[in-house]
């Protein structure tokens, strides 16, 4: 790796493939819908698309060792493992049921370059193992996020990359429809992040930022809000989610394809500081 950032970008057909593997976990009409169109929810696609674009822009070794730290449903890892079979992907999450489902999907798809394990990122103890660690919308769920950054630093090789997708601080987020003024995630352990705050935390723990972009600009935010319209009432949310799905998918792709200086999420590419790893 020489530290260059390339100009690769997901095409719409490639973006459309995100989350289609999730059909394996569903039954009935939902199984068919997901196999054809992928997940109905836009949040997973938006953060996966941003993370994949950041990943594709890296100058990688021929056989990179990659960690998905806090994989959830694993949409990003499944896409990358299928599209980049030469790399080796490991994914961890504390949700045992999620990991079990992901392992079954990986077996169904015969993905021999992707493994899942039930593990907290705070229990990560590898040293100099990974070329890339990515973590999407995870640190806001971790009480000691700086400890997590220290462990990422320890686990990365000297020229390794860290990719972080994070939500912008709740109070600073710009919503479109009034009903989303109080849309938040109750299991966040902190009030998300500001640009200055995450920059300081990365610097304190041995990282320097290579690129700092934003997501969930107007089009991405509109895709999310239309997708979750009437979010307190699940039957209405599902009905309108299906109606708006084609528009939301296109808006989400447009958002993922842009680089913003401001938005409701942060997409950060960082590297180890020179001299921070002896």
pLDDT at 231 over 90: no
Residues in contact with 82: Cβ distance below 8 Å, sequence separation at least 6, in sequence order: 21, 109, 111
pLDDT value at 5 more than 60: no
* Helices (H), ranges, the chain: 12-16, 28-37, 42-56, 75-83, 96-109, 145-155, 195-204, 218-227, 234-256
pLDDT band at residue 6 using 50, 70 and 90 as cut-offs:
low
**How high is the pLDDT of residue 170?**
83
The full set of domain ranges for the chain reads 12-272
Fold for domain 12-272?
Rossmann fold (3.40.50)
Q: Which residues pair with 164 in a beta bridge?
A: 135, 268
pLDDT, tens digit (0-9, with 9 covering 90-100), for 242-257: 999 999 999 999 999 9
Per-residue pLDDT of 172-227, as tens digits, reads: 889 999 888 777 677 788 889 999 999 999 999 999 999 999 999 999 999 999 99
pTM: 0.94
Q: Is the pLDDT of residue 171 over 90?
A: no
| 8-state DSSP, 243 | H
């Amino acid at each position: 790796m020489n530290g260059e950032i390339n100009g690769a970008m997901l095409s719409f057909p490639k973006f459309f493939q995100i989350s289609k593997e999730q059909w394996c976990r569903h039954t009935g009409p939902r199984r068919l819908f997901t196999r054809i169109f992928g997940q109905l929810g836009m949040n997973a696609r938006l953060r996966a698309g941003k993370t994949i674009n950041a990943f594709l822009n890296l100058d990688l070794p021929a056989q990179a060792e990659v960690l998905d730290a806090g994989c959830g449903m694993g949409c990003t890892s499944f896409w990358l493992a299928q599209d980049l079979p030469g790399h080796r992907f490991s994914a961890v999450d504390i949700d045992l049921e999620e990991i079990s489902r992901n392992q079954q999907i990986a077996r169904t798809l015969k993905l021999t370059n992707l493994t899942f394990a039930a593990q907290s990122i705070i229990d990560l103890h590898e040293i100099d193992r990974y070329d890339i660690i990515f973590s999407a919308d995870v640190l806001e769920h971790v009480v000691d996020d700086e400890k997590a950054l220290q462990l990422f630093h320890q686990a990365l090789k000297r020229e390794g990359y860290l990719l972080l997708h994070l939500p912008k601080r709740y109070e600073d987020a710009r919503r479109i429809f009034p009903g989303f003024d109080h849309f938040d995630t109750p299991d966040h352990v902190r009030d998300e992040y500001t640009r200055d705050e995450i920059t300081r935390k990365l610097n304190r723990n041995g990282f320097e930022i290579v690129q700092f972009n934003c997501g969930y600009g107007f089009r991405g935010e509109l895709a999310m809000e239309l997708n979750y319209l009437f979010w307190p009432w699940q039957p209405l949310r599902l009905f309108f989610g299906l109606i708006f799905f084609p528009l939301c998918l296109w808006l989400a792709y447009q958002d993922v394809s842009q680089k913003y200086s401001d938005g409701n999420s942060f997409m950060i590419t960082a590297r180890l500081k020179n001299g921070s790893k002896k």
